[in-house]
Amino acid sequence: MSSQAGATMVLSAAMDYRLPATVVPKRYDLRLEPDLVAATFAGEAVITVEVETTVTEMVCNAAELAIQSAALTREGGVPIHGSITLDETSERARFVFPAAIAPGEWKLTLRFTGTLNDRLHGFYRSTYKDASGVPHTIAATQFEATDARRGFPCWDEPAFKAVFGVTLVVPEGLAAVSNSAIVRDEPLGDGRRAVHFADTIRMSTYLVAFVVGELEASDAVMVGPTPLRVWCVPGKKHLARFALDVGAFSLDFFERYYGLPYPGDKVDLLAIPDFAAGAMENLGAITFRENALLVNEGAASHAELERIADVIAHELAHMWFGDLVTMAWWNGIWLNEAFATFMELMAVDAWKPEWKRWTTFGVSRAAAMAVDGLEATRTIEFEVGNPHDCRAMFDLLTYEKGASVLRMLEQHLGPEAFREGVRLYLERHRYANAETTDLWKALGDASHQPIPSIMDGWIFKPGYPLVTVEPDGAGLKVTQRRFSYVAADRDSGQRWRIPIVLRAAVKRGYVERRLLLDGDEASVALPAKADWIVVNSGGHGFYRVRYAPALLKKLAGAVAKIAPIERFNLLSDAFALAQAGLMPSVDYLDLTGRFTTESDRNVWTVLVSSLAYVNRVIGDEHRSGLAALVRHRLDEEVALLGWEVQEGETELERQLRGDLIRALGTLGDDVDIQSRARDVYARYREDEASVDANVLPAVIAVLAAAGGESEYAEFRERFKSARTPQEEQRYLYALAGFRKAELLGRTLEMTLNGEMRSQDAPYVIRSLLVSVYSRGLAWDFVKRNWQTMARQYPESAYTRMYEGIAGLVSADSEREVRAFFADNKIDLGGKTLQQYLEQLRVAVAFQEREAEALAAYLSRQRPR
Site residues, Zn ion (CB under 5 A): 337, 340
CB of 95 to Zn ion, least distance (A): 34
CB of 286 to Zn ion, least distance (A): 10
Distance of CA 485 to the CA centre of its chain: 24
DSSP label at 29? E
The set of residues, in sequence order, having a beta carbon less than 8 Å from that of 628 and lying 6+ positions away, is: 858, 861, 862, 863, 864
Number of H helices and number of E strands within the chain? 26, 30
CB 469 within 8 A of CB 560: no
CB of 393 to Zn ion, least distance (A): 11
In the chain, what are the helix, strand and coil shares in percent, each to the nearest 5?
A: 45, 25, 30
Q: Which of 771, 765, 809 is nearest to 784 (CA)?
A: 765
CB of 399 to Zn ion, least distance (A): 8
CB of 757 to Zn ion, least distance (A): 22
Q: Which is nearer to Zn ion, 120 or 580 (CB)?
A: 120
Q: Which is nearer to Zn ion, 337 or 728 (CB)?
A: 337
Would you list the DSSP string of 805-863? GGG--SHHHHHHHHHHHHHHT---STTHHHHHHHHHHHHHHHHHHHHHHHHHHHHTSPP
Distance (Å) of CA 777 to CA 624, 772, 782: 22, 10, 9
CB of 403 to Zn ion, least distance (A): 11
Antiparallel, parallel or unpaired: β 509-517 and 544-547: unpaired
Q: Which is nearer to Zn ion, 84 or 340 (CB)?
A: 340
Q: Which is nearer to Zn ion, 340 or 534 (CB)?
A: 340
CB 345 within 8 A of CB 257: no
Q: How far apart are CA 231 and CA 240, in angstroms?
A: 8
Q: Which is nearer to Zn ion, 193 or 314 (CB)?
A: 314
Q: Which is nearer to Zn ion, 292 or 748 (CB)?
A: 292
Antiparallel, parallel or unpaired: β 135-142 and 192-197: unpaired
The set of residues, in sequence order, having a beta carbon less than 8 Å from that of 48 and lying 6+ positions away, is: 25, 26, 27, 28, 29, 105, 106, 107, 108
Give the type of residue at 255. E
- Collect contacts of 633-636 with beta carbons under 8 A, ≥24 apart: 633/592, 633/593, 633/595, 633/596, 633/607, 634/596, 634/608, 634/660, 634/663, 634/664, 634/668, 635/596, 635/664, 636/596, 636/597
Q: Which is nearer to Zn ion, 398 or 774 (CB)?
A: 398
Query: In angstroms, how far is the first alpha carbon of the chain from the final one?
Result: 69
The set of residues, in sequence order, having a beta carbon less than 8 Å from that of 479 and lying 6+ positions away, is: 467, 468, 470, 520, 521
CB neighbour burial string for 580-594, b if at least 16 within 10 angstroms, e if fewer? bbbbbbbebbebbeb
Q: Which is nearer to Zn ion, 65 or 319 (CB)?
A: 319
CB 65 within 8 A of CB 122: no
Q: Which is nearer to Zn ion, 340 or 703 (CB)?
A: 340
The set of residues, in sequence order, having a beta carbon less than 8 Å from that of 814 and lying 6+ positions away, is: 808, 840, 841, 844
CB of 204 to Zn ion, least distance (A): 14
CB of 279 to Zn ion, least distance (A): 8
Q: How far apart are CA 697 and CA 690, in angstroms?
A: 14
CB 112 within 8 A of CB 64: no
Q: How far apart are CA 555 and CA 505, in angstroms?
A: 10
Q: Which of 439, 420, 415, 419 is nearest to 429 (CA)?
A: 439
CB of 772 to Zn ion, least distance (A): 34
Coil, strand or helix at 112: strand
Coil, strand or helix at 169: strand
Distance of CA 233 to the CA centre of its chain: 25
CB of 341 to Zn ion, least distance (A): 7
CB of 278 to Zn ion, least distance (A): 8
Q: Which is nearer to Zn ion, 124 or 394 (CB)?
A: 394
The set of residues, in sequence order, having a beta carbon less than 8 Å from that of 473 and lying 6+ positions away, is: none
Would you list the DSSP string of 618-630? S-GGGHHHHHHHH
Q: Which is nearer to Zn ion, 280 or 545 (CB)?
A: 280
Nearest residue to Zn ion on Cβ basis: 340
Residue 307 burial (C-beta neighbours within 10 Å; 0-12, 13-18, 19+): middle
Q: How far apart are CA 740 and CA 711, in angstroms?
A: 12
> Which run of H or E residues covers position 185?
strand 182-187
Antiparallel, parallel or unpaired: β 210-213 and 175-178: antiparallel
CB of 327 to Zn ion, least distance (A): 12
Q: Which residue numbers are catalytic? A: 315
Q: What are phi and psi of 199, to 5 degrees?
A: -60, 140
Q: Which is nearer to Zn ion, 283 or 817 (CB)?
A: 283
Q: Which is nearer to Zn ion, 337 or 669 (CB)?
A: 337
Coil, strand or helix at 85: strand
CB 532 within 8 A of CB 510: no
CB of 336 to Zn ion, least distance (A): 7
